[in-house]
Structure 1
Amino acid sequence: MIGACSEQPAGEPVVRTQLDGSEPAEIVAEPTPEAAPTQAAAQQSACSDKVFEGVSLTHCIADPAEHSVTTALAPSSGSNFGTIGAWAAGKNEGDIAFVVNGGMYGDDLRPIGYYVEGSDRLKELNRADGPGNFHLKPNGVFFGSGSTWRVLDTETFYRTIGDRPQFGTQSGPMLVIGGKLHPEFQDDGPSRALRNGVGIDADGKAHFVISNAPISFGKFGRFFRDELKTPNALFLDGNVSSLWDPANGRMDSRRVGPLLVVRDK
């Protein structure tokens, strides 16, 4: 059974779901996404709203022909530390297609798994066992260089990837592995939370999805497998899942750590 995800930084209360096989899961509700006061009105959004099996989702597409992907870390101090908004302060939003939280983190807001930013590896691949969603094997890595982006389970990444990518982030569990749902997922299990993830389709496009209401892992994985046709997809985080979509005026303010930044070329 699947429980909560990343550790919550001190000072930011978030309800976490814990499952022990005997107690029913608590459904975690979150506020609706917040609208940012600034908006790039002329920019066409890469994101659109979907409904899948009764759950509202926001689906953002990064096309290698039109976008680049990089990683970044939200500030760990200062006003609104740990949020996308704190990272975005003072930046030109003109070339930002969207930004999402990009993996799990510790109390210091730093990644607990593999993390590469600008070809600089700041955290080594984490193959350890442990509690929580990150360690629900197989977990995986979203990574890429230039216009080639991939999602692989951690062990396949370890065995087959020799060259360091330009960006990379590790999280878990995998949602879809080789066209199949993670073996631990129930069809529509009792663990429900806001969740976000990423998958790559056959054309090399990256599909980022964030739920706007609590969703089970099974239902979330099926959206990637059946609707988006992504043979591999990776869960990024839950409860803290956040999106900045400048064109639509959406800026979520939950506290996150690693970020995935999608820019227009």
Structure 2
Amino acid sequence: MDESTTADAVVGIVDATAADAPDVTALATAVERAGGTPVVDDARALATMDLDAGIAAGDRALVEFVRARIDAPVLPVETTPSTRSVPADDADDAIAAVVAREHDTATRRTLAVNAPGIDPVRALADVTLVTSEPARISEYTLRANDRIVGQFRADGVVLATPAGSQGYARAAGSHVVAPHTSVLTAVPIAPFATNADDWVVPDDDVTLTVERDEGDVSLRIDDTHVTRIGHRDVVESTPDDSLTIAVTPQSTGPWPHALEKH
């Protein structure tokens, strides 16, 4: 290994302080052992720095990495499998590969989400509209490219990226789609129908509208409440920049890495 390729590697570690997140101190120590310089901070602070790579300690840290638009490949540690996560027990070897720049890369499509009263939010996995109170049904319209795809009554609806199609959307009955596809999946949550539809739509211009609300509707992006959505409010999603993931031999995932090269 050429020492000159590792000595100046600056690696930002997003600390989201989640209870189930890996120990960021141990991750920083692994960076130092590999010859790099670790910087542990919140995502917005790291976004102002010139980083060679990033490490996201857990799902919440990865979401913050995405929202802060950190422009560096990220090594996910103990995140969902669809993001090519590294188990915590294998993190030291994976970090050594990243510091030495001996890693491969994969990408995950993200969304720019717009809704009334908020600045655009970058989403990695999913966009969810759901009634705030249990068993309170609302009516929703799904449009793609300004055409109505579906109208339905349900407790809510999940719009998922390929990465998110393995998560909450799948639990609600959605399809799982491969990571390199330019589509979104949409599935009603507890629909008021016996044989409810779900959809796969192009990801270039998709909207969700609350047509009737019998209670407060919450907009959640990557499982975080963002705002309340009212009657006739429109939530719009369009493609955003892709997230670059550092892939090492320790990375896991539901698909062979070769499938992601296209």
The TM-score, its normalising length taken from structure 2, stands at 0.27
Rg larger for: 2
Higher strand share: 2
Higher helix share: 2
Structure showing greater relative contact order (alpha-carbon pairs closer than 8 Å, 6 or more residues apart): 1
